[in-house]
Amino acid sequence: MAFLGRGALILLQQGRVQPVAAVLLPFSAVLMGLLLFAQASPDSGIRQWLPFGDLVVNWLLALFALIVGSRAAWETWHKAGSAGAQTREALMDDISTRVQQGARFVGPLLLGVAVIFPFFPFADRRLLDIAILVATYIMLGWGLNIVVGLAGLLDLGYVAFYAVGAYSYALLAQYFDLGFWVCLPFAGIMAAFAGILLGFPVLRLRGDYLAIVTLGFGEMVRIILLNWYDFTNGPDGISGIPRPTFFGLPFKRNPPEGTETFHSFFGLEYSPIDRIIFLYYLILIMAMVTNLFTLRIRKLPVGRAWEALREDETACRSLGINPRNTKLTAFAIGAMFGGFGGSFFATRQGFISPESFTFIESA
């Protein structure tokens, strides 16, 4: 969808306006998104939003709009490219400016849609579970962006911090009977500590060598969790992980003696989907906090140091920036958000095992 949106921006350059194609690209993106949701949840009412009742006809319409719009975008780009290097650079600068301007409008719009998503008529439990999973990976992606995107450190073992956060919460809840909100900061701290442990051996490594070591670290953590049976329960995993509560109010039909539940406190009828909606808003808030933190820290001295390290480590050192501390802070802070995501994954699933944290999660 991002590719199609950028294609539409190309068509809207001054002197190259092609309104029909500029409309077709975003139209095909929206239609494909609706079709994917309709196929993921056939029983939902999302089909009423489609132009035609037959899914095949809608897919053909989306592909037609995509082909026509993409062809027009390619022709416009080719004409601009043949005009010379200066024209291409000016076009790229203009596109970048328009993308930033569009993000200021599209970002809040998408956030608003995400906030009211549970109240859409087609938002059943299946779609909410998919949305929760998507938001979880978005949060992990933004956390990984600190290490890979800002600091330029290729980390293929990011799933290890995800696992550390999940097991930290599960073990603290199992052995010390602690709740989610108490364990959440501890999960982040433990994951950050694991990030520092990974950072020290790879301080002098770059490129492919760094990627191989981080990949090995991720597999090493999974193998430890798999074989340390007395502590992690090995391949059997940990079950019965406590669910999160709304400031101490559990989402249960019958509360423990002397306590209230969420629905009784607010005078609502009990519904099992209330817990799913709460989990959705919880991970949405966690993801947005991660994004906001990433945007803000990028403007701070430590964020500037990460970007300097990414561009040229030698020049970074010559400017008086300590590469060792800069790398360690990137690993620690990025791992911390992975730990937060892991603790949420554990409380959402209620069960975790080493098989939940394979390399494919990092990829």
Residue with tokens 């975790």: 352
Q: CA-to-CA distance for 255 and 328, rounded, in angstroms? A: 45
Rounded to a whole number of angstroms, the CA Rg of the chain reads: 24
Planar angle of CA 358, 360, 39, nearest 5 degrees: 120
Residue-wise pLDDT for 265-295, tens only, equals 787 888 888 889 999 999 999 999 999 999 9
* Closest by Cα among 175, 232, 30, 190 to 113: 30
Q: Output the pTM of the full model.
A: 0.77
- Confidence (pLDDT) at 14: 42
- Confidence (pLDDT) at 211: 85
Ranges of residues in the chain whose predicted pLDDT is under 70: 1-25, 40-49, 72-103, 256, 258, 363
Residue-wise pLDDT for 80-123, tens only, equals 555 555 555 666 666 566 656 666 777 788 888 888 988 887 77
**Domain ranges, ordered by start, for the chain:** 2-92, 125-362
- Confidence (pLDDT) at 45: 64
Helix 85-116 vs helix 55-81: angle between axes, to the nearest 10 degrees? Answer: 150
DSSP 321: -
